[in-house]
Structure 1
């Protein structure tokens, strides 16, 4: 049986794919269109999800949070200008890195210490970090769904229950 955290990560990968596929079906200009929302465009939300996944991968791989955030900041402008097709490739690549890392882990409950420059030290596990990544992605895919509605388009269901049926 798959560890529940790994199953949740698989859901995250699936849900990212579902929303990316939906965005690929819509008129191209929707992806980078400026709108009034928490983020100024769908592309910036999707980039944020990716860059957060990227940062946390660096952290669970042993880098400090400051270093991981600096790496993500260096990528930000480059990632935000990518097309939806290019983003799909980036998400596939990062998910393959996560899956290889997680499959090599002898102990997914291994403790790590995160030194967050805004919140201080946190002792957490790889497992909890993965759950954070999943819930963070879910929250922001919800932002994308709302943004699409505001632009007159429908989103797509991406609930965990639907994932269970789909797999």
Structure 2
């Protein structure tokens, strides 16, 4: 569970570092599921915050719509959230811990912490794929963020 989340943090940081080399493309309007790459990362971040709030079984709302002006600003926010969430995951005894949470529609659900982490990681992977497509469609290169590259960069994990 922790390794999978570490991959998510690594992949976001790697993609945001790559995007910093194309500063004008980050907020440029583009065709895709979201109106820009910035909006895509804002969505990933907001969803990460919502699920982290649920993992903590917090009664406080996770917050509103985030906006990022630059890839560096997004990276800072993701790094801070990643550190907080990593600490939380290290303190939990087991990924089998059952988490009770409510959706925005107030429907009650229960899943293991490991299942929720897997969901967060899959959600991020899906939208980073959207970013790759947006970059390539606009004529820019991308960078690999596949799990195997994470393992190669982090052989001790």
Distance across 1 between alignment mates of 2:38 and 2:153:
26
Q: Residue by residue, what CA displacement relative to the aligned partner does 1:36-74 show, whole Å, maximum 9, x if unpaired?
A: 21100000001111111111111111224xx53xx432x
What are the equivalent positions in structure 2 for 1:5-154 lying under 5 Å apart? 5-26=1-22, 28-64=23-59, 67-68=60-61, 71-73=62-64, 76=65, 79-118=66-105, 120-154=107-141
Where does structure 2 lack aligned partners over 5 or more consecutive residues? none
Normalised TM-score (structure 1): 0.86
Tell me the SS of whatever aligns to 2:135.
Answer: helix
For residues 163 and 62 of structure 1, what CA distance do their matches in structure 2 show?
A: 30
What CA RMSD, in Å, does the superposition of the two structures yield over aligned residues? Answer: 1.5
Where in structure 1 do 4 or more consecutive aligned residues deviate above 4 Å?
none
Corresponding residue SS for 2:7: helix
- CA distance in 1 between counterparts of 2:52 and 2:69 reads 21
More helix by share: 1
For the residue of structure 2 that corresponds to 1:72, the secondary structure is coil
> Residue 149 of structure 2 aligns with which residue?
162
Q: CA deviation at 1:155?
A: 1.0
Q: Distance in 1 between matches of 2:32 and 2:9?
A: 25
TM-score normalised per structure 2: 0.92
> Aligned-pair distance for 1:118?
4.4
SS at match of 2:102: strand
